[in-house]
Amino acid sequence: MPAGNRTHGPMILLGAVLLIPGGCSQRDQTVRSTRALVQEPVRLDGDAVLIEVAEAKEGDMNETAVVTVVDDAAVVARPRVRTEEPSPTKPLPAVAPEVRARELLLQAAGDDWALLRANAIEALMVRPDLLEPVATLGLLDDNRGVRFVSLMAIGRCGLCDLSDAVEASLDDPSESVRAAAIYALHACDRVVNPGPLGEMAFSSDPEVRGNAFMILGLLGEPSAAGLIRAAVGQETGLVDPARVRLIDLQAAAALVRLGDLREIDPIRAALFAPTDQAELTALSIQLIAQLNDEGARQMLVRLVEAPTRESRPPEIRLSAAETIAALGARDPAPLLRLASEYVESPRPEIRAQVASLLGEADDGASRALLVRLMEDPNPIVRISAAGSTLKLAGDEQTDGPALH
């Protein structure tokens, strides 16, 4: 199953939707996912859940259809015109941006589109008080991706009052969901057997193997390093070599978390993968954010500022800029300049990335743009803007902990 690339057509979608481990009070400093927009369905690992994306065939927007794999079935959700959109002749009453953001996220948490539900849960990590009831329902969701996101959010935000409910997820039919339940219980200091993660690390399913590596790294047990190295060399059968490289990067990140700092080198090197291997660049940017790799800052700057003849696709530039900001760049001016290049993009996934980037630019201009993007015609853009709005509101009160 070939991985999509990003040269003259389909592009990688970064930045906004499914959870990757990050600080509970810092939504998108370390939270991103990798997906590909392609003409034919393609399976591609994100750091949290496996999704598929295909060309849309219906709806006025004619953009993309998201297909989330649920065991052996597929749940298709396509962009559509929403009846709840405000009428041009009957505008909604003005409300404070933070209030509007909460409304959008809580509404999305009950949407019939699984991707929106997962987005909402991930965005609400900056507000654990709002997250708890939503994540509780997420544990029972029909979609395994939503269940996975809910468990990871519970663990990252320390919602340990839900531990009894989390224990039931140890019997979930999805191995990835069971792995996330082990993580959530461990984060809440519950006694839990991590043994199943060892078996998952040798799985022939790339999604399961990648998630097992990620969670073994998060558990922080140094003895797991040998198991991860052994699993990396395991026969992968008919899995596309491009996907194998993605899994290897996830393994490298887990080993860095477990203390082997030499493994940061292949992650940094992947920043400059050939354009036909753009998924590697996308994932390496995510991992650098997760690992708080200050040493990669200038490499990320090169991705953002490369001259025209070497310029990277907009999603790579936006993702790299967001990671630079997450590493500690507080001057909003460069972020706003980059955001202004793409805020009018006809592609909703790019506008969603702009909204996510603006969550790192605490400035009056960025807040005004987020208010505008919260009324975007595309629901993914609205949710991304709402998450950034809540993040900036939370940053006024406290700076969240950095990811280590």
Q: What Rg, from alpha-carbon coordinates, does the chain have?
A: 20
The reported pLDDT for the residue numbered 236 is 62
Q: What are 254's two structure tokens?
A: 């887990």
The reported pLDDT for the residue numbered 272 is 92
pLDDT at 8 over 50: no
User: Region 246-264: what's the mean pLDDT?
Assistant: 96
The reported pLDDT for the residue numbered 92 is 52
Residues 6 or more apart from 333 whose CB is under 8 A from it? Answer: none
DSSP secondary-structure letter at 73? E
User: At 90, is the pLDDT very low, low, confident or very high (cuts 50, 70, 90)?
Assistant: low
Distance CA 401, CA 228 (A): 28
Q: What is the pTM of this model?
A: 0.76
Following DSSP, what letter does each residue of 86-130 receive, concatenated? PBTTBPPPP--HHHHHHHHHHHHTT-SSHHHHHHHHHHGGG-HHH
User: Region 163-175: what's the mean pLDDT?
Assistant: 97
pLDDT at 200 over 60: yes
User: At 361, is the pLDDT very low, low, confident or very high (cuts 50, 70, 90)?
Assistant: confident
Distance CA 22, CA 390 (A): 16
Interval 288-331: pLDDT, tens: 999 999 999 999 999 999 887 778 999 999 999 999 999 987 78
User: At 363, is the pLDDT very low, low, confident or very high (cuts 50, 70, 90)?
Assistant: confident
The owner of tokens 């909604």 is 92
User: At 78, is the pLDDT very low, low, confident or very high (cuts 50, 70, 90)?
Assistant: very low
Percent of the chain with pLDDT over 70: 73
User: At 129, is the pLDDT very low, low, confident or very high (cuts 50, 70, 90)?
Assistant: very high
Distance CA 185, CA 378 (A): 36
Identify the three-state secondary structure at position 150. helix
The reported pLDDT for the residue numbered 59 is 36
Q: Name which of 5-9, 201-205, 239-243, 332-336 the model is least confident about.
A: 5-9
Could you give all domains of the chain from N- to C-terminal order, each with its CATH number? 12-72+106-395 (1.25.10)
Q: What are 203's two structure tokens?
A: 């799985």
Distance CA 162, CA 166 (A): 6
pLDDT at 359 over 80: yes
Interval 40-68: pLDDT, tens: 333 333 333 333 333 333 333 333 333 33
As a whole number, the mean pLDDT across the chain is 80
Torsion 127-176-2-79 (CA) sign: negative
Instruction: Choose the most confident range, by mean pLDDT, from 20-24, 182-186, 271-275.
Output: 182-186
Among left, alpha and beta (phi > 0; psi -120 to 50; other), residue 14 is: beta
User: Region 102-109: what's the mean pLDDT?
Assistant: 97
Identify the three-state secondary structure at position 74. strand
User: Region 89-93: what's the mean pLDDT?
Assistant: 55
